[in-house]
Amino acid sequence: MSATPGKNPYRPGAATVPLHLAGRDVQIKRFRKLLAGAPELPANLRLTGLRGVGKSVLLRELESVANASGWVAARRQLEPRHNTEDELCALLAAVASAAGRRASRLGALKGAVTDAWVATRGLLNVTIEDVTFSLAGGGQAETTLAEALFDAVETAVRSGHEGFVLLLDEAQVLHDDTDRGGEHPLSMLVAAVNALQESGLPIALVLCGLPTLRAHLQKARTYSERMFRAETIGELEGNPGAARDAFVEPLRSTGITADEALIARVLEEVEGYPFFIQLWGAELWDAATSLGFDRFTEQMLDAIEGQIYERLDEEFYAGRVETLTPSEQDVLMLSGQCPYPPLRTSDIRARSDKSDGNINVLMGRLTEQGVIYRIQKGQYAYTAPKFAEYLRRRAQA
Ligand SMILES: Nc1ncnc2c1ncn2[C@@H]1O[C@H](COP(=O)(O)OP(=O)(O)OP(=O)(O)O)[C@@H](O)[C@H]1O
Ligand SMILES: [Mg+2]
């Protein structure tokens, strides 16, 4: 029996840093290299993955990597309301100026910066006019944004830093309108960053979000997708391997252990999805400590599995369905009866009494709200892992 168990070492949640960040060493190393190659090579990263797979905690880690590498980093989570040129520009200008102020304060501690340093960071002979000149044709917001970013980069370098890194989470909320007169916030952002990078300045942009981010970039400026190094974050693998580490490592030095048979069962059930690993761990921990046990066992899992699924459905899935309109929910629930993956519009049509046009509109709205994403014409996938199983459970409830 364990003496006094400490706090629950598992962290199921949104962007809650796990005790042990498993299986992301490769991505972290690649990011460090990417920054080291700037400004000669633009250091932009597109980080995509399904819900709950660990994008936000990795983004936090990349922010720390940037800081530790001598860059000034600013991280923000975007919201749907930022999807206009003015809103995005206002937000990023504020973020850039706060980062600049922070850089100056740190710079004051570092002491004087030489011209030689400023030259290595590409800033000696470059002015904001050089940058905005190459933006000719862009709107006012684009110029304002480029100026704000330029100021942040300049302050960062003149305070002895390598450059400025902007990290944006939930970046799939940005997408350009198709008509010329519409809003083009994503193009505005990539054009402003590209203009600075073409002038040789050390700015790095990390865009993190759902898989739709990729299509949004493809539809923005012609060069936008090529500007980014792509990193797809997936489930953790292996026993032994990252999935096992994510489950077992938090128990280290807690006085509680997990039986091998239990570990194997959990790993099979969670399919390597980080949120699920944290949730299963947290519930097993509560069960073990409330019973006064010092081991996670299979019997324990048998006893609480139903309760784990209830919590999973409530915390991870239900919110995604309940914010939808009744007709969006209808189509989504119907999709749960279709073969998967992928989800085919034709299968939904065959099961629905709604018109084809209506179904297309509803699929578009589900995509816009980030519940599904388009793979190709007429084919979709859910953005949350194991969502098809959830819909089946929900249909039976
Ligand atoms: N590499 C990892 N090792 C262990 N646990 C992890 C890892 N990555 C994420 N987690 C855990 O998984 C959960 C989800 O992480 P996070 O919020 O970063 O996912 P996300 O991909 O940003 O999800 P969403 O798309 O919903 O924003 C958190 O509880 C976090 O602690
Ligand atoms: Mg996230």
pLDDT tens for 291-323 read 999 999 999 999 999 999 999 999 999 999 999
pLDDT of residue 10: 98
Cβ-count burial of 63 within 10 angstroms (0-12 exposed, 13-18 middle, 19+ buried)?
A: middle
Section 158-178 average pLDDT: 96
Section 70-88 average pLDDT: 97
**Pairwise CA distance, residues 258 & 72, whole Å:** 41
pLDDT of residue 185: 96
**Roughly how many angstroms between the first and final C-alpha of the chain, as a whole number?**
39
pLDDT in tens, 120-137: 888 888 888 888 887 877
pTM here is 0.95
Q: 298-312 and 260-270 helices cross at what angle (nearest 10)?
A: 20
pLDDT of residue 2: 44
Instruction: Say if residue 230's pLDDT is above 80.
Output: yes
pLDDT in tens, 256-282: 999 999 999 999 999 999 999 999 999
Determine the distance separating the centroid of ligand 2 and the alpha carbon of 54, expressed in angstroms.
7
Residues facing 382 on adjacent strands: 372
Handedness of CA 82, 87, 88, 91 (dihedral sign): negative
Nearest C-alpha neighbor of 294 from the set 246, 249, 254: 254
Please give the structure tokens belonging to residue 159: 């305070």
Domain 323-396: give its CATH code: 1.10.10.10
Counting ligand 1 atoms within 8 A of each CB, the residue from 25, 27, 53 with the most, and so the one to mutate, is: 53
Section 354-369 average pLDDT: 95
pLDDT of residue 1: 46
Please give the structure tokens belonging to residue 21: 């960040």
Section 36-51 average pLDDT: 96
Q: Write 59-62 long-range contacts (CB < 8 A, 24+).
A: 59/167, 59/169, 59/206, 59/208, 60/15, 60/17, 61/21, 61/24, 61/28, 62/28, 62/31, 62/167, 62/206
Instruction: Say if residue 169's pLDDT is above 50.
Output: yes
Nearest-5° Cα angle at 308, 305 to 310: 115
Q: In this structure, are residues 55 and 169 in contact, taking their beta carbons and an 8 Å threshold? A: yes
CB-based contacts of 193, cutoff 8 Å, min separation 6: 44, 149, 166, 203, 205, 227
Q: Write 118-122 long-range contacts (CB < 8 A, 24+).
A: 118/157, 118/158, 121/39, 121/157, 121/162, 121/163, 121/201, 121/202, 122/39, 122/199, 122/200, 122/201, 122/202
DSSP, res 241: B
The CATH topology of domain 25-232 is Rossmann fold (3.40.50)
CB-based contacts of 119, cutoff 8 Å, min separation 6: none
Least distant ligand from the CA of 15 = 1
pLDDT of residue 110: 76
4 confidence band (pLDDT: 50, 70, 90): low
pLDDT of residue 136: 72
pLDDT of residue 108: 74
Determine the distance separating the centroid of ligand 1 and the alpha carbon of 314, expressed in angstroms.
17
Work out the percent of the chain whose per-residue pLDDT is above 90. Answer: 85
For residue 147, give the amino acid letter: E
Domain ranges of the chain: 25-232, 242-315, 323-396
Work out the percent of the chain whose per-residue pLDDT is above 70. Answer: 99
Mean pLDDT score across all residues of the chain = 94
User: Between these two residues, 359 and 397, which has the higher pLDDT value?
Assistant: 359
Section 32-59 average pLDDT: 97
Atom of ligand 1 nearest to the CA of 52: 23
The CATH topology of domain 242-315 is Helicase, Ruva Protein; domain 3 (1.10.8)
Residue 347: count other Cβ atoms within 10 Å of its Cβ: 17
Determine the distance separating the centroid of ligand 1 and the alpha carbon of 246, expressed in angstroms.
11
Binding site membership of 56 for ligand 1 (Cβ less than 6 Å)? yes
Counting ligand 1 atoms within 8 A of each CB, the residue from 278, 315, 316, 320 with the most, and so the one to mutate, is: 278
Section 62-73 average pLDDT: 97
Residues facing 380 on adjacent strands: 343, 374
Radius of gyration of the chain (CA): 24
Cβ-count burial of 228 within 10 angstroms (0-12 exposed, 13-18 middle, 19+ buried)?
A: buried
pLDDT of residue 115: 87
Binding site membership of 246 for ligand 1 (Cβ less than 6 Å)? yes
Q: Which helix (H) or strand (E) element contains residue 231? A: strand 229-232
Of all residues in the chain, what percent are helix, strand and coil, respectively (each to 5)? 55, 10, 35
Binding site membership of 202 for ligand 1 (Cβ less than 6 Å)? no
Binding site membership of 54 for ligand 1 (Cβ less than 6 Å)? yes
